[in-house]
């Protein structure tokens, strides 16, 4: 069985870097908007929805509102993925990391 402690300082450094990345992800906020600002969604880098704001003018058409919420959420999540990819790239020193390695 693999013993992570056998990797010594390298593994400890990687563990610390991963913890730092989780903290950065939780603190990073990205905003998505749709409908010319009628809907605004804010998410964190670890994909938690922080807030959803809906202008009164968007309340008249339920189907349109649902589409605007989906679009704003998708944009916010895309921005969060891009922001975290940049952070991970810096952490990895430009080395490619396999998808799904990090929890965000």
Scored b (16 or more CB within 10 A) or e, 25-34 reads beebbbbbbb
Domain ranges of the chain: 28-87
Reduced to 3 states, what is the DSSP secondary structure of residue 61? coil
Q: Residue 86, CB half-sphere, CA atoms under 13 Å: how many?
A: 8
Band of pLDDT at residue 63, cut at 50, 70 and 90: very high
Band of pLDDT at residue 93, cut at 50, 70 and 90: low
- 93 backbone dihedrals φ, ψ, rounded to 5°: 65, 30
Q: List the structure tokens of 90.
A: 């810096």
Q: Please, what CATH class does the domain formed by 28-87 belong to? A: alpha beta
Q: Which residue has the higher pLDDT, 65 or 90?
A: 65
**pLDDT at 96 > cutoff 70:** no
What is the DSSP secondary structure assignment for residue 45, as one 8-state letter? T
CA separation for the pair 21, 45 (Å, rounded): 10
Strands (DSSP E) contained in the chain are 29-34, 39-44, 49-54
Sign of the dihedral defined by the CA atoms of residues 35, 39, 42, 46, in that order: negative
Q: What is the pLDDT of residue 104?
A: 52
Band of pLDDT at residue 73, cut at 50, 70 and 90: very high
pTM for the full model? Answer: 0.75
């Amino acid at each position: 069985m693999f013993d992570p402690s056998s990797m010594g300082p390298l593994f400890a450094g990687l563990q610390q870097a991963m913890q730092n990345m989780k903290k950065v992800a939780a603190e990073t906020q990205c905003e998505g908007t749709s409908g010319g600002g009628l809907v605004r969604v804010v998410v964190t880098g670890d994909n938690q929805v922080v807030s959803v704001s809906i202008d009164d003018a968007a309340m008249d058409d339920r189907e349109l509102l649902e589409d605007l919420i989906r679009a704003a959420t998708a944009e916010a999540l895309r921005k969060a993925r891009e922001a975290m990819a940049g952070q991970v790239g810096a952490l990895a020193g430009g080395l490619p990391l396999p998808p799904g390695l990090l929890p965000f």
